[in-house]
Chain A
Amino acid sequence: MEPPALTPQGVPNRTRRWRRIRRIALLPAAALALAGCGIPNFGASPGATTSSRSVFHLWQGFSVGAVVVGGITTVLIVWAVFRYRRKGDHVPKQSQYHIPLELTYTIVPILIVLGLFAATVVVENKEVADPKTSVTIDVNAFQWGWKFTYPGKNVVVVGQTTEDPEMVMPVNENVHINLTSSDVLHGFYVHAFNFSRYALPGVLNQFTFRAVATGTYNGQCTQLCGLYHSLMFFRVKVVSQSAYATWLAANYNPSAAQAAQSATNQQTSSVVPTKVQKSEGDN
């Protein structure tokens, strides 16, 4: 690129310069437009639930913004660094203010941020919505494992550390999760669902998954919970609705469920005697 055009007075030709800057700024946008619907995934994946997919699209949107803004800023930094290396000892023009430019780089970011916020709210409202459902799973986290209880179905799955308990849930069905913790904080994180939520002692956290693809997905505790935090794995197995019914029937075990329930009650009564704060995902 040639150095900035100068008029005879040494004053840069701002119009020409702006035209060039605009051209540079439009390049990434043009590249994206050419890419069309094939927006890159920027390292994330669409995941296996309806909300994981909207989160993924939000991710793509944010990433496009980050690439454009970051790209322009990088170009400006690199340009300044190479173009304005010291050449001789003369003192450069001591310009300090340029009000229109300053207003631009204040107002444009505000608009970008408002756009990002609007997109955030749309996705967030979708994600924390609590639609009616017939499938409920109580998820209880403890040091260092998980217990998945299917209320009313007499089915309980418990597993510690490397046993990797499996939470089975039906596909194409809203699955309501009640998340609690028996001791310290834990993080209920399913990578393929693009989602995590703390399991908090004394708080009932509620949210809904609607899986759209069958498969087995890895989950893990993400919030430091003590010595074996690194080993607090689980799996989520999304199966067809008929397979889910079969699985429920095969694992029907009233005594185990009762034992687990009474153990929970005992645990709860020793740890959580007073009030259980209920918290909706959307408050």
Chain B
Amino acid sequence: MKLNFFSPTVFLRWSKNLIPVGLIVTTVLLGIGLYWSLFLSPDDYQQGSAVKIMYVHVPAAWFSLAAYAVLSTMSALHLIFRAPMASLLGKASAITGTAFTAVCLITGSLWGKPMWGAYWVWDARLTSMAILFFFYVGYLGLYYGFDNREHASKMASILGLVGAFNLPIVKWSVEFWSTLHQKTSFMSLSAPSIHSSMLTPLLLMAAAFASYYGTLLLILVRRDLLKQKHQRQIQTDILNHIREAA
């Protein structure tokens, strides 16, 4: 049996059963992960309980990047194969990715205040995260910026490709800039080796984020497909009406 994921009918049939499963898996993983990370994992000897922000911050950062990877892949598929489903998946990925990036930036600045003494530090990682956020905003702006939906999705997909070329360059240039300027290196940029008592809840939270991301993607694309179907139904109804009246 061939599973054609880019066919709207197949997608609608599969997502109907997949969404409840995804929601249950997400709730269970998030419950266990949050309980483990908030109550069972130890405090850091330097940071105290503020280290627990990490369990939300780090998975959000990982999945904001993963969502952009999905977005640019879907953009390429949309432009090459002219598959409308790919553009819907890309847009859904952009919405979730924007939310993850915002969560990452907000939790990061809340974590930064007690640790570094400032909500914002001009560091390579923070700066490139903020730029990733602007790429997402640009993509969604293009997607909603035209009256012609099909044209809008094509333009947004082109931007998704441009971002895929440019994000590595931007990231690399910002790193060049920060190594040039960073006089006060009060934080260790290399990831400290993490103890398993912290790693297990972190990976659990990452799994919860992954399942949340997947489920949200299915829900958003399903909503769009049903909306399109509904609109087509209305159009044919109107046409039939006119035909009968004539």
Q: State whether these chains interact.
A: no
Q: Which residues of B contact A (CB under 8 A)?
A: none
